[in-house]
Amino acid sequence: MKVMTFNLRADNVLDIRNRWKKRSSLVGDVISEYDCDIIGFQEVTRQMEDELEVYTKSYYKMGEGRTRRLFMEKNPLLIKKEFSVIEDNTFWLSKTPYKKNSTIWYSLFPRICTGAICEIENGKRIRIYNTHLDCLLPHAREFGLGVILDHIRNEQAKESLPCILMGDFNAKPNSKLIQKFKNGKYVGKRFIAVQEVNPELYKKTTMGSFKGREEGRHIDYIFVTEEFKVESMEIVKYSKDGKYPSDHYPLVAELKL
C-alpha cells in the first residue's frame, strides 16, 4: 500500500512565476507516476480541486473546507476506489471541533483535520487522518495536535484500528511537538514516523521552495501505528524544465499491513 502526503501550496498572487496554472500539470504528473492508494493533500482550494479531477478519477475524495470565507482551503483525503470507504468526517482544531468554521483566537486561520475509515484490499480496516497545523505559533500547533489525538483516542475506544496520521505539521524533527508525539506522550498507541526507516532523511528538507533545495526545514510527516511495517519512504523531488509542482516536496511511503 502506497501513501502520499503533499502540501500543494494554495494559489497565491505573490508567487508570480509559480502560480497554480503553471504547475497543476506537474502535480498531475506526480499523482500519475506514483499511483498511490491513499493521498493526503493540504492547501487545496476549490479551483485546484476541480483542475485535479482529470488526474484523480480513480479516487474517492473527502474533506470539507476550513471556512466558507476567503482562503477556503481543504485538506482532502483521496482513497483509491479499490478500497471501501466506511466513513469520513472533517473536524476543526478548536475547543468546539465539531462546530464548522470554528477556531482558536491565536490561530490566523481555522485549522482542520480530515479523517476516514476504509477497508483495504486484504479486508483489514484502517483509520486515516490528514491535517495542516498552524504555521506561526508552537502553542497553536500543540493545541491542534491535542485535538486530533483526543479525537483519535475517542474513536479508538469504540474500535481499535491501525492508524495513519499525515500532513504538514510545521514542526521540525527535533521540536518538542514531534519529539513528544513520537515518544507516545499524547496518545496510548505509539505512532512511528515513516522517516524512521532511514533517519538520514530527517536531515533533508521537505520544503524545496520551488528551487529544488536539499537542505532546510523538514516539516511534513506520515505517522503510522505499530501494526504497519514501513517498507520504504521517499522525498519526491520531481521537476520538469526547472519547474516544481509545489514549494513542498511530496512524501511517499510503502506500507505493509
Q: Residue 113: what pLDDT?
A: 98
d(CA 8, CA 42): 6
Written as tens digits, the pLDDT of the chain (257 aa) is: 999 999 999 988 888 999 999 999 999 999 999 999 999 999 999 999 999 999 999 999 999 999 876 568 999 999 999 999 999 999 999 999 999 989 888 877 899 999 999 999 999 999 999 999 998 888 999 999 999 999 999 999 999 999 999 999 999 999 999 988 876 655 666 899 999 999 999 999 999 999 999 999 999 999 999 999 999 999 999 999 999 999 999 999 999 99
Q: Residue 190: what pLDDT?
A: 83
- Look at residue 140 and give its three-state secondary structure: helix
Q: Check: CB of residue 236 under 8 Å from CB of residue 31.
A: no
The CATH superfamily label for domain 2-256 reads Endonuclease/exonuclease/phosphatase (3.60.10.10)
Which cell goes with 37? 492508494
Q: Check: CB of residue 154 under 8 Å from CB of residue 187.
A: no
Q: Residue 140: what pLDDT?
A: 92
Q: Residue 185: what pLDDT?
A: 57
Q: Which residues make beta-bridge pairs with 74?
A: 44, 65
Q: Check: CB of residue 126 under 8 Å from CB of residue 115.
A: no
Q: Residue 12: what pLDDT?
A: 86
> Any idea how long the chain is?
257
- Look at residue 18 and give its three-state secondary structure: helix
Q: Check: CB of residue 11 under 8 Å from CB of residue 45.
A: yes
Query: Any idea where the domains of the chain sit in the sequence?
Result: 2-256
DSSP character at residue 68: S
Give exposure, 84-109, as e/b (b: 16+ Cβ within 10 Å): ebeebebbbbbeebeeeebbbeebeb
> What residues contact residue 193 under an 8 Å CB cut-off, 6+ apart?
173, 178, 182, 221, 222, 223
Q: Residue 54: what pLDDT?
A: 97
From residue 156, give the alpha-carbon distance in Å to each of 6, 151, 235.
Answer: 26, 9, 30
Q: Residue 184: what pLDDT?
A: 64
State the amino acid at position 17 in one-letter form: R
